[in-house]
Structure 1
Amino acid sequence: MSAQQIDKKKLERAIRKIKHCLALAQSANENEAATALRQAQALMREYRLTEMDVKLSDVGEVESALFRTKRRPAWDQQLSTAVAEAFSCTTLRRRKWSTAKGQVTECATFIGVSPAQNIALYAYEALHTKLTQARKAYCSAVRSGVHRSQYSAETAGDHFALAWVWEVQSKLKALVPQRDDDSPEPPTTGQGLVAIQAQEKALINEYLATLDLGKSRKGKSVELDLNAKNAGMLAGSKVDLHAGIARGGEEVHRLT
């Protein structure tokens, strides 16, 4: 593998290119944003397949600007988990005191081998914006009687959002291809990527061991409203990640 390794300066250039693509991926032009995101993914793939000497110091964490003044709902937690898994990261619920709010707030944190956590954060916040808008529209439809539910509009909206995330989760995995089908690659490429992902997971676990983490609580199983579930899955199936993962030029708003 040493013959295929690229020097440190080339790696630094690759990281700068990835970050540049991520910046372009926030463009208001959806076609430009999708192209930039795919370029970032391709660079990430090249980076991983050519650099095996990844160290604990390469593991980093980023915190979302989106926060709640109380516990994040199950659909929000599920979304951050789905995104983290797609980009070989780990996500944590970060609770801290907010001087501005005068109370404890909670947000999602992504931990990964740089710059994977940055890509995961971008995808999470972009999808969160889409899902928040879709959930709000569904809640309004329940209140107006367009959709029937045995639950309150807010609860039905939560069920809708959970189903939306489940449907989008498989799309997220496909968003990060293992290889380009149009480009010839050696048969060992897939095996090499698996080895790298295993190495990264071990480093992330080593990093997590240095943190003072409390025990995570398992979420309760919820019997979803059938109408909300079907509507959420239908809406999730229509999400085109390649064409519309960009925020559409919108600012990221904090949650109330």
Structure 2
Amino acid sequence: MMDQDKALEKALKCLARAEGTDSEHEAETALRQARALMDKYHLDMGDVLAAGVVEHQVRCGTKSKPTNWMFRLASVCADAFNCQVVGSPYQARGWHFRFYGIGMSSELASHAYSMLHHQLVKARKAFVAKQSRCKLATKRRRGDLFAQGWIDAVSTKVQQFAGADQTTITALLAYEAKHFADATTQELKRVEARRAHDAKASEHGRSAGRHAHLLRGVHQTPPAALQYGGAGR
């Protein structure tokens, strides 16, 4: 007898077949088959849609809650590859970003995040090292402003992928309801410049971010983007 996971997989294929055909008769047959499986195995549409979502995780490299700029970078990558992202703590293993989407989108987003995070951390560290005659708190603020400007520049690069697909949105919402029902939303506030040198930190970040390599080593034809709605949770 078929188990529920197999039934989910088969029902999802039936729905995909119904959506992908130009034949009204074939579409109706596929939908009837999907409905029969759902009724027999007590599945709802959310179960079926969520089954088509794939998740990939990336370590944040920190045991404490990631910074706002880390969350924002993760959201930029999610936007670029048509998926969403949440941050989750894993006790001794530290925090992870969990990208989830259709097909390869979550894998591409997680790869892009890993690549860009490495570049940003390196650039931010080099910039902060040049800050002299100022308090540690000032160095950190300017470092965050640098990262903010860097991500602003990268965000501009990924706008070419902007777009939305209602079927994908529905599937991701179903997955979110099933796996992240207790997630909370966090507002990602921007760091405010206090002095002239702070403003220069943002500009240095934007300048460096324009040279970031967003797609090196990543599939060159990613799916259309989905407007971000999950990072920072």
TM superposition score category, shorter chain reference: 0.5 to 0.7
Aligned length: 170
Unaligned 5+ residue runs, structure 2?
A: 1-19, 24-47, 219-233
Of 170, 191, 215, the match for 1:202: 170
Of 199, 204, 208, the match for 1:231: 204
Task: Report the RMSD for the aligned CA atoms in angstroms.
Answer: 2.7
Q: 1:149 to 1:3 in 2, by over 3 A?
A: farther
Structure 1: which 4+ aligned runs deviate by more than 3 Å?
148-151
> Quick check: 1:138 aligned with 2:106?
no
Letter in 2 for 1:213: D
Q: TM-score, normalised by structure 1?
A: 0.59
For residues 56 and 66 of structure 1, what CA distance do their matches in structure 2 show?
A: 25
For the residue of structure 1 that corresponds to 2:85, the secondary structure is strand
> Quick check: 1:153 aligned with 2:139?
yes
Letter in 1 for 2:148: L
**Identical pairs, percent:** 23
Q: Deviations over 1:150-204 (max 9, x none)?
A: 9522221111001100110121233x4x8xxxxxxxxxxxxxx85xx21101100
Of 103, 107, 130, the match for 1:118: 107
Letter in 1 for 2:184: K
Aligned match of 2:149: 163
> Quick check: 1:215 aligned with 2:184?
yes
Q: TM-score, normalised by structure 2?
A: 0.65
Aligned match of 2:226: none
Letter in 2 for 1:82: V
Q: 1:205 to 1:70 in 2, by over 3 A?
A: same
For residues 76 and 135 of structure 2, what CA distance do their matches in structure 1 show?
A: 27
Q: 1:125 to 1:131 in 2, by over 3 A?
A: same
Letter in 1 for 2:58: S
Q: 1:150 to 1:229 in 2, by over 3 A?
A: farther
Letter in 1 for 2:202: K
Q: Deviations over 1:25-57 (max 9, x none)?
A: xxxxxxxxxxxxxxxxxxxxxxxxxxxxx9432
